[in-house]
Amino acid sequence: MQDRTTSDEQFAKDLAGLLAAPHTVPLGLKPGIPWFDFDLAFELGLGYANRGEIAAAEAVAAAALASPGAKLQAAGHLLTAVVHMSRGRFRRAWSAAGKAAKVTDPDVAAEVAFVRGCYHEGRGNHRDASRQYVLVTDSGRPRTFARAALAMGGMLARETQGWDQDAFDTLDTAVATGFAEVVGPALLTQALMADRVGDKDLAESRYREATRSPVPQTAAQAAFHLGDMLRARGETDGARAQFAAAARSSSPEFSGKAALGLGILLMEAGESADALEVFTFASNSAYEPAAARGHCHLGLLAIDAGDLVGGERHLKIALKHKDPQVKAAAETGLTQIRAARR
């Protein structure tokens, strides 16, 4: 990669390209690369962490910490804090952020405030989290401001679990910044808020926009909810398309959930062979609730096809899951098998 320019447009382009290759880029990061500076290191590591690519985030942190420059090292400490928080190690996260705070630089101070805001929010201390996010607004760093607006809006929305106009307006502020990493998640949160209070038109509009997010988890979740909404009103083709898009994503949870939704639609349409394939995909999901439901559906389909041995095998796997609905369905299926064998 050539040395990046300092333009915002080029920075965004470089960052997007790097974020798209979490398993290869960190291996090439070495101290002293001209374009590997504080801003790119922090945005890159944070972007990986937000995508669930924690190993890649750790690799970026390690490269930054190995740099001879104090400011780049501060990015490493901040990313280390983010990684610790992703694993629930809040005491270690606070310590790492404190190391970064020793660097007297306004850029570092702004990101320290943001990370400390995330720390307090993760600990349930929303008042102190708000104070830290407010500190970011005076930093003059547009990306940091956008992230803080997203965090603040999301926190307010979760507090109410309904409609909160301040939350919606704050998320609008995040959307208006135009930063792709922020816009999609903000739109998704607004869609979830609208969905909860029954404003289906607004929810659908925001879900559709969020499906175009470059953040895989955001796009997958938006597609899943949009698919669910379309299915509820009988728009089967649209629902299938959205469920299929989410199922192809890298999000274990929403890939698995969407596969189940798609499988049910296929089964209802009499397309048993395709449903079987999709439920098999769901049964292999890393998201355990989806895997259990996938096995349950496979077991019931096997019974219908006269395959009692296969049905029993799948239903016994489903029976191990704690979800009462899954357990009840599995027990019913196993009862059918016992009755058929008498």
CATH number at residue 179: 1.25.40
Query: Residue 64 sits in which domain range?
Result: 9-87
Number of domains in the chain: 2
Averaged pLDDT in 10-residue chunks for the chain of 342 residues: 49 78 71 74 92 91 91 96 96 97 95 96 94 88 93 91 88 94 96 94 97 94 97 96 96 95 95 94 95 96 93 94 92 92 80
Of 58, 87, 116, the one marking the end of a domain is 87
- Let me know whether 61 and 127 are in one domain: no
In a domain, 14, yes or no: yes
- Let me know whether 64 and 142 are in one domain: no
Cβ–Cβ < 8 Å for 260, 290: yes
| Residues contacting residue 293 through CB under 8 Å, at least 6 positions apart | 260, 282, 318, 323, 326
Contacts 24+ apart (CB under 8 A), 323-330: 323/289, 323/292, 323/293, 326/289, 326/292, 326/293, 326/296, 329/296, 329/300, 330/296, 330/299
> DSSP string of 144-176?
HHHHHHHHHHHHHHHHHSS--HHHHHHHHHHHH
In a domain, 288, yes or no: no
DSSP state of 2: P
DSSP state of 68: S
In a domain, 183, yes or no: yes
- Let me know whether 83 and 108 are in one domain: no
What's the confidence (pLDDT) of residue 68?
86
- Residue type for 148, please? A
- Let me know whether 62 and 124 are in one domain: no
In a domain, 225, yes or no: no
Phi-psi bin for 128: left (phi > 0), alpha (psi -120 to 50), beta?
alpha
Look-up of token digits 């796009």: 219
Q: Which candidate, 105, 107, 50, places its Cα nearest to that of 79?
A: 50
- Let me know whether 114 and 173 are in one domain: yes
- Let me know whether 53 and 111 are in one domain: no
In a domain, 291, yes or no: no
Of 144, 162, 196, the one marking the end of a domain is 196
Of 61, 87, 113, the one marking the end of a domain is 87
What's the confidence (pLDDT) of residue 159?
84
In a domain, 44, yes or no: yes
Distance CA(309)–CA(200), nearest Å, equals 44
- Let me know whether 172 and 116 are in one domain: yes
What's the confidence (pLDDT) of residue 20?
78
Distance CA(105)–CA(111), nearest Å, equals 10
Three-state DSSP class for 233? coil
In a domain, 37, yes or no: yes
- Let me know whether 190 and 110 are in one domain: yes
- Let me know whether 52 and 120 are in one domain: no
What's the confidence (pLDDT) of residue 229?
97
What's the confidence (pLDDT) of residue 4?
36
What's the confidence (pLDDT) of residue 139?
84
In a domain, 153, yes or no: yes
- Let me know whether 77 and 121 are in one domain: no
- Let me know whether 68 and 128 are in one domain: no
- Let me know whether 18 and 83 are in one domain: yes
